[in-house]
Structure 1
Amino acid sequence: MGKATLLENAYYKWLKEELIFSDIEDGYVSISSPFVDTNFDNINLYAKFLNEDNIEVSDFGYTIFNLEEAGVHLDKRSKVAWRIYNTALADFGITREGDSLLIRTSLDNFAIAKNRLIQAIMRINDISYLSKGNVKEAFNDLIESFLIKEKVLYTPNVEIPNENGASSHFDFSIPSRTGVERLIKTSARLNDPNYAKVFNYDVKATAPSRNAKFIYVLNNVTHKTTINQNIVGTALNGLKPNLAEVAGFSEIEKDNTLLVNS
């Protein structure tokens, strides 16, 4: 069995085991994901057919509610939080109606829409973490400034369709002279298991069809904490050593051999 097939099989196994679909009232389907919110509860989505061919997927307002319960209010007075929130909506194509975050899509694009909404929710949940640390700049802004300073060519916010009909989102794509692209996913929350799972999931989904090295960059600059090796293990689970790598941003700043056009 080839490596691409092994990765593809692992990806489908993950999907089958970790996502739970249940019919609930008023025609909605509850989708329980393996990712947790700011209260360490599973992130749940709710899907409903609008007609035979179109679906609405929503968080039922839980993301905004949880932030407000934690004392985080999304308004223009907090410039960094407000920009992270609006950027997440724009990057992942999410609409806010009332307090609900939602996306409307065709049945064929349901898998893509579901992934987009989950990743938008996770990005918005980061605001709670940033607020606790009184952070003045988003982590991806730090990385982008670093790439510009180092004169590294890059493309931000890359979405790559996968063979199963879903898609994977990477924060940066760095082209290489050797033809092996570098796809970067970041985590502002250093030891967050959510992002580690998503990185692993996206590598397995993307690697069979993309000639790339995958790099997971962790924020050990804003909050100087040791990287938990369990997080590293989750991110790299089932991946070949030369396919993916985990690195703290402070180490990259000192000796950058990963985020380069080589």
Structure 2
Amino acid sequence: QVNLHQKNGSLLAIETPFFFPDGDPYQIYIKEMPNGILRLSDMGHTMLHLSYDNDVSKFREGTRGKLFEQIKAETFLEEDNGEFYIETQIDNLGFNIFRLGQALTKINDLTFLNRARAESTFYEDLQEQLLKVVGEENIIRDYFYPGMENPQDYPIDFRIEGKHAPLFLFGIPNRDKARLTTIILERLLRAQADFDSILIFSDQGTMPKQDLARLSNAGGEMIASLDAESDFSRKILRKANIN
């Protein structure tokens, strides 16, 4: 069920059953266009609302960006400088009100594609943050340590030249990666590799205690999440030999 009321001389506001997670209703309006076309628009409110708690520029990058474009294509959603809209004939008005509401809901759901839930996005965010701290020229991605058997089976996420020994960085978005990292570190130790390591979690608080205990026995320093930016920079710069 929807309700209409006059917003001003050229706009009708639509009350719909769609709400943001914080309880605020979606802002959807009808504007009459030439040739009998009606424009259903959020007047830029959705992106403004999401910008309060999110960096909305990331909606257009990497995994989020692909999903963002897919949502627009699937729902026939148009965009103009942050305003989302669908143009319709009056006969299809009701259908397209709900289509716009569903599209805005899917865009809002991109905020849940966060570091704790999306492995691919976690690695994108980790690499972006790492580039800011040490620069691209100082990083080797997917490094294989040559001094052990079958090194291709034990990839190291990032290698950086260290002040005293090579610095190996491991991103850990979930329990499976925590266990794999433990195995890789144990193999490196068994091969008597000379290295430092930093383990960077998506959310350390979600890791089972037993997995954390094994990691702490095998690995070096830990960073609880990418949100700990000062800790991230301090621990890496303390060990890295930056040109």
TM-score normalised by the chain length of structure 2:
0.46
Q: Which has the higher helix share?
A: 2
TM-score normalised by the chain length of structure 1:
0.42
Q: Which has the higher strand share?
A: 1
Looking at both structures, which has the greater relative contact order when contacts are Cα pairs under 8 Å and sequence separation is at least 6?
Answer: 1
Larger-gyration structure (1/2): 2
